[in-house]
């Protein structure tokens, strides 16, 4: 059985002390660091870009899981790869040409991932299983931390778990949005193996305890 991985999202960290906040969750038992990049166009919020990823890189050796909520993603892939991303995830809704974007990311020596918004059906990944290393199911509409987990997405997680099993490829199935100890259990029971959590880690005083509470 694969171990459930926990990836704290720094979107809910103290932005004035981002380096320390990355070090703190690394020390507290995180498996990956999740970095949410927003453009104020694909999602109605702005966060940060490649210079911040680069500045944080010396603060942890954990894989940097870079979630691009930008449209188009194409012109920025190289900059995020150079900044130190280990995984680059693009939205299937943002385009252009998801398969091509994933191919380009892989050629840069970075693990490619594909992300699905709540309104997108599981079949959207059916022709990407040969090229993607990560499938991320959004369990909130992207743009903000601290939203409520959408239980309606559990069927999609189950369906994609079946698709991954049939593909016989080593693909991680992540969930992002509204993850807390209760919803973590629902997501893992449905087939998720990687949990992204912003507010349920960074809004707690004891990060190690918060991360441990998410391990199902
Ligand atoms: C939302 C981001 C998430 C966000 C999750 O657009 O992709 O990674 O930080 O925050 P929580 O865990 O608070 O829902
Ligand atoms: Zn995210």
Output the DSSP codes for 194-213: EEEESHHHHTSS-HHHHHHH
What CATH number does the domain containing 106 carry?
3.20.20.70
CA angle 152-128-169, nearest 5°? Answer: 95
The predicted pLDDT at position 1 comes to 66
Ligand 1 centre distance from Cα of residue 198 (Å): 5
The predicted pLDDT at position 104 comes to 98
Ligand 1 centre distance from Cα of residue 58 (Å): 23
Ligand 2 centre distance from Cα of residue 127 (Å): 23
Q: Is 40 a known ligand-binding residue?
A: no
Backbone angles phi, psi at 93, to 5 degrees: -80, -20
Say whether the ipTM exceeds 0.90.
yes
Q: Looking at the whole model, is its pTM more than 0.95? A: yes
Into how many domains does the chain fold?
A: 1
Q: Would you call 147 helix, strand, or coil by DSSP?
A: coil
The residue to mutate among 8, 9, 42, having the most atoms of ligand 1 within 8 angstroms of its beta carbon, is: 9
CA angle 3-162-156, nearest 5°? Answer: 90
- What is the spatial distance between Cα 112 and Cα 132, in angstroms, rounded to a whole number? 5
The predicted pLDDT at position 128 comes to 98
Q: Dihedral of CA 194/69/203/200: which sign?
A: negative
Residues classed as catalytic: 36, 176
Domain region containing 195: 5-214
Q: Is 146 a known ligand-binding residue?
A: yes
Closest atom of ligand 1 to CA, residue 139: 14
Full pLDDT tens readout for the chain, 216 residues: 689 999 999 999 999 999 999 999 999 999 999 999 999 999 999 999 999 999 999 999 999 999 999 999 999 999 999 999 999 999 999 988 999 999 999 999 999 999 999 999 999 999 999 999 999 999 999 999 999 999 999 999 999 999 999 999 999 999 999 999 999 999 999 999 999 999 999 999 999 999 999 997
CA angle 84-86-91, nearest 5°? Answer: 110
Q: Is 143 a known ligand-binding residue?
A: yes
């Amino acid at each position: 059985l694969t171990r459930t991985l926990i990836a704290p999202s720094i979107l809910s960290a103290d932005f004035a002390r981002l380096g320390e906040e990355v070090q703190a969750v690394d020390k507290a038992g995180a498996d990956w660091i999740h970095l949410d990049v927003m453009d104020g166009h694909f999602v109605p919020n702005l966060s940060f870009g490649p210079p911040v990823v680069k500045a944080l890189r010396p603060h942890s050796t954990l894989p940097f899981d870079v979630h691009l909520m930008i449209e188009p993603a194409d012109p920025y892939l190289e900059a995020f790869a150079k900044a130190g991303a280990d995984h680059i995830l693009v939205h299937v809704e943002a385009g252009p040409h998801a398969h091509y974007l994933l191919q380009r990311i892989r050629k840069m020596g970075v693990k490619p991932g594909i992300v699905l918004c709540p309104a997108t059906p599981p079949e959207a990944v059916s022709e990407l299983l040969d090229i993607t290393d990560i499938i991320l199911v959004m369990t909130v509409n992207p743009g903000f931390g601290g939203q409520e987990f959408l239980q309606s997405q559990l069927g999609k997680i189950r369906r994609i778990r079946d698709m991954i099993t049939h593909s016989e490829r080593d693909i991680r199935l992540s969930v992002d949005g509204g993850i807390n100890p209760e919803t973590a259990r629902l997501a893992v029971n449905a087939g998720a193996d990687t949990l992204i959590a912003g507010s349920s880690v960074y809004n707690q005083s004891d990060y190690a305890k918060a991360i441990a509470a998410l391990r199902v």
